[in-house]
Chains A and B, each alone.
Chain A
Amino acid sequence: MPKEQTCGIWKALGTCWNEPGTGSRILDTKSVLTRLVMVSRTIEMVLGEGVPMSFHSLVWKEMRRRPVHSLTALLIVALGVSALVAVESVITSSEQNVASQMQQLGANILILPEGVTLQDYHAADAHGKSLPEEYVTRIMLAQLVGVEELAPKLSVPVEVGGASTMLTGILPRTEFYKKSAWQSVDLLTADLGESAVGRKHEGCGGRSCQIATADKTDIGSYATTRIVHELDMNAALIGADLAKSQHIKQGQTIQILGARLKVAGVLPATGTSDDGRVLAHLHRVQELADTGPIVNVIEVMGCCEEAAGGLVGELDELLPDARVVTIAHIVQTQVTVNRLMNQLSYVIFGILMLIGGASIASVMFANVAERKRELGTLMALGATPSMVSRLILMKASAVGLIGGICGMGLGLAAAFAIGPQLLGVATSVSLNAVIIGMIAALTVALVASYPPARKAAHLDPCLCFQDA
């Protein structure tokens, strides 16, 4: 499934749209540029020399003379807004990530060694602790209702072509038949090979996670099903990113832990840590890394969220030395982290807005003080006190607005830069944060500049007679 990319603010500018069907986005660089030129022309007209002056253009002209003067205040406001926009955008993406995890993997359960804490489902095996592989057999034999597929994994650090990565051992479904025959247990139903390794939950309507026949032969389907039907002892699967960075192609042979493995396929990108790994047969990995029959995690795939709750208890009883967690459980920590980050980002935003406000107030007070004679002259020439105070309010608003816009740009850039690495998902813009950030920046600027504006209005116009 191609990843959905959103247009975000580009869509609002009419420069980006989603291609129907494919879910990919199209960003029209040329029309983005045209719009930017249009915007800059408008700004030039407001600020420009070529156009006859209006009273309010005094604000721009004065600011332009010494832009550095109000830069600190502007930067603080920008920082506050960017913190808010960045964190909120990352959280929004994370929430979408969580929601999609719940939807795709909601019924799955992880069996982990005791003492392992976990925040990322896709990195459940990267902790260095192990479980006996025998647990897989134990679960199979228990024939628990709702266990439809079992995916044990063992990951060891390796080097591929000079790059350090993970070699992850997975157990193909065919191994389960062998095992059941070997254990001489009339294990599962007759159509074992056709549907699921485990037993389906009877009362569960709707979805089915029976592996489609096509997926049995297509090794690349691992990317979505997280299981493979068949895997040769000498075969390796390469994650999309790793294949790209190391220029590895299907059919090639790669050297890992002294063995030569044949690349049976390059997996499509999933946006998870799987993209950087090498996958091979579990027993081959155990042999190469000389670990003995152990695994780091056993993934229990189910299709029925109703069943997952009851299963946890049963699995816990079956494997007292292991930790059994549901996806909901894992996601919960992410949700908690998000909530905390969310609160923190508002606290930081609030603090920076306060400092920004204080800074704007002090800059504007200083500005009024050093422009006493100029403002007095404006009054002598017939400007009313409210016109003079408006000059100050407008200047402060400009600082707030420009700070807000810079902050928004900075925040979005940061979110787009760090979001994908942090969460493995495409960042989407938090429109809420953008709106709140801009409104707050403007409000803070206006409130902070009110006292200096008042002071300007109450200046003694006779100051114009003072000598320079």
Chain B
Amino acid sequence: MLRIESIHKDYPRGRSVVRALHPTSMTASKGELIAIVGPSGSGKSTLLSMIGGMLSPTSGRIVFEGKSLYEISVTQRSRLRNDQIGFLFQSFNLVPYLTAVENVQLPMTFYGSDRVSQRNEARRLLEEFGLAGRLDHKPTELSAGQQQRVALARTLAIRPNLILADEPTGNLDPESRDMVIRTLHDLCDEGRTTILVTHDETVSASAHRVLRIREGHTSAASPNRSCGAA
């Protein structure tokens, strides 16, 4: 479902350029959970941004569900993200002035118009994540673990086929971390693909495959165990 064909990324710096990511190729199939590990500044976020259609590679191609991501318009890419790609962030990135339920509803409002069913869906998801009593809380009124659960609900609101998570457990206590990882595994079992950046050995150990990056160089993804064997 995802094919990365020898992409690399150069950032301009002054007159010269910095190569944030050296040519990289890989594929991800349906239901796979791939961990990307590497020290900070090694190009993990850069790779994730390109896969998410938010950063065009200096060269190479990314084909997602049969579409070459950077050969379609910006609007089409936005629409594609809203339809198929979910994001999780280290700092959760909840919109601070919206309540939990509004945050979950948010991505559904971009192109949809049935506000009542959007709201009901957002409620249902939050209840599923055990936040029934926190629907109208603002992010600042929630603990880190609760915030990431709201963010998970927001990601699932659009029913994504691909989930891109940048150190989603980096700010969480072990209990919340385990819950997030368990959820991601459940989603893979439903046939969704997850690409997960992490520092945490216990997290990467549970992935189906691990891709290592060091100073922009990726080393071939090493299989941990086969898909669905968790």
Please, which residues of chain B bring their CB within 8 A of the CB of A380?
52, 54, 81, 87, 93
Min CB–CB distance B27 → chain A (angstroms): 23
Let me know if B116 is at the binding interface, CB within 8 A: yes
Q: Is the CB of A383 within 8 A of B110?
A: yes
Let me know if A467 is at the binding interface, CB within 8 A: yes
Stretch at the interface among A49-57, A109-117, A176-184, A224-232: A49-57
Interface residues, chain A, with chain B CB atoms under 8 Å away: 49, 51-55, 58, 61-62, 64-65, 373-374, 377-387, 460-462, 464-465, 467-468
Q: Is the CB of A55 within 8 A of B91?
A: no
Interface residues in B, total, Cβ within 8 A: 39
8 A-B contact pairs sorted by A residue (CB < 8 Å):
A53-B105, A53-B106, A61-B98, A65-B97, A378-B95, A380-B93, A381-B154, A465-B45
Let me know if B31 is at the binding interface, CB within 8 A: no
Please, which residues of chain B bring their CB within 8 A of the CB of A58?
95, 98
Given contacts A374-B96, A377-B87, A380-B81, 10 further A-B contacts (CB under 8 A): A52-B105, A54-B115, A55-B109, A58-B98, A377-B95, A379-B78, A380-B87, A382-B107, A382-B111, A383-B82
Are A382 and B78 also in contact (CB < 8 A) when A61-B97, A61-B98, A64-B97 are?
yes
Let me know if B83 is at the binding interface, CB within 8 A: yes
Min CB–CB distance B47 → chain A (angstroms): 11
Residue of A nearest to B82 (CB): A382
| Chain A at the B interface: SS class | helix
Q: Count the A-B residue pairs with Cβ separation under 8 angstroms: how many?
A: 96
Residue of A nearest to B164 (CB): A380
For A381, give its contact among B45, B96, B107, B116 (CB under 8 Å).
B107
Q: Is the CB of A373 within 8 A of B105?
A: no
Of the candidates B48, B110, B119, the one having the most CB atoms from chain A within 10 angstroms of its own CB is B110
Please, which residues of chain A bring their CB within 8 A of the CB of B166?
465
Q: Is the CB of A382 within 8 A of B109?
A: no
Q: Is the CB of A52 within 8 A of B115?
A: yes
Of the candidates A49, A54, A373, the one having the most CB atoms from chain B within 10 angstroms of its own CB is A54
Q: Is the CB of B110 within 8 A of A382?
A: yes
Please, which residues of chain A bring their CB within 8 A of the CB of B202?
none
Please, which residues of chain B bring their CB within 8 A of the CB of A373?
93
Please, which residues of chain B bring their CB within 8 A of the CB of A382?
78-79, 81-83, 107, 110-111, 158
Please, which residues of chain B bring their CB within 8 A of the CB of A53?
98, 102, 105-106, 109, 115, 119
Please, which residues of chain A bring their CB within 8 A of the CB of B52?
380
User: Given the complex of chains A and B, what is the CA–CA distance between A339 and B153 in angstroms?
Assistant: 64
Let me know if B55 is at the binding interface, CB within 8 A: yes
